[in-house]
Amino acid sequence: MKTEDLSELEILDETSIVQTLRCRFNKDIFYTYIGEILVAINPCKPLHLFDEKNHHDYKNLTVRSQRPPHLFWVADQAFRAMQDTKRNQCILVSGESGAGKTESTKYMIQHLMKLSPSDDESLLDKIVQVLFSIMTLFSEINQKLVYIISL
């Protein structure tokens, strides 16, 4: 089953989505598009998808279908849109606890840093520190909301 964009399935329902994602996962394919959305499934093992070759392959890629689905495509598109429009861009990373949101975000930031003209070697560490602070804050707020709602 060679479906890299689930929106192209003949039948788009929960069963066909889960079946396709399971099939791709069993073939060690962890990224899939649904239209403009990238679905990432945490493989719970180290991957070799984030090396220099992949940074290069996704840099300035204009036709998405020329490469398999990847976090770097999302990061590259946001970077290019920011340059073209001169406006801030947002990438929404969502998922359950342990789904790999932090790792995915770090890889996208790493790719953005390769695209940007900064020579600051410690920039990734600084960004990740800020990211963890923000994520901790959101987690605390979410826990308080869940507690309040359960009352």
Query: How many structural domains compose the chain?
Result: 2
Answer yes or no: is 40 a known binding residue. no
pLDDT at residue 1 above 60? no
Does one domain contain both 67 and 137?
no
Answer yes or no: is 16 a known binding residue. no
Does one domain contain both 57 and 85?
yes
Structure tokens at 27: 């073939």
Does one domain contain both 141 and 110?
no
> Which residue segment(s) compose the domain that 22 sits in?
6-117
**Predicted pLDDT at 75:** 94
Query: What are 18-73's pLDDT values in tens digits?
Result: 999 999 999 999 999 999 999 999 998 888 899 999 999 999 898 999 999 999 99
Answer yes or no: is 27 a known binding residue. no
Answer yes or no: is 99 a known binding residue. yes
Query: What are 81-121's pLDDT values in tens digits?
Result: 988 999 988 898 888 888 888 889 889 988 988 888 776 66
Answer yes or no: is 118 a known binding residue. no
Does one domain contain both 94 and 128?
no
Which CATH number goes with the domain that contains 106? 3.40.850.10
State the Cα–Cα distance between residues 109 and 128, nearest whole angstrom: 9
CB 109 within 8 A of CB 127: yes
Does one domain contain both 113 and 46?
yes
Answer yes or no: is 53 a known binding residue. no
Does one domain contain both 113 and 126?
no
Answer yes or no: is 35 a known binding residue. no
Answer yes or no: is 95 a known binding residue. yes
Nearest to 42 by CA among 52, 54, 29, 30: 30
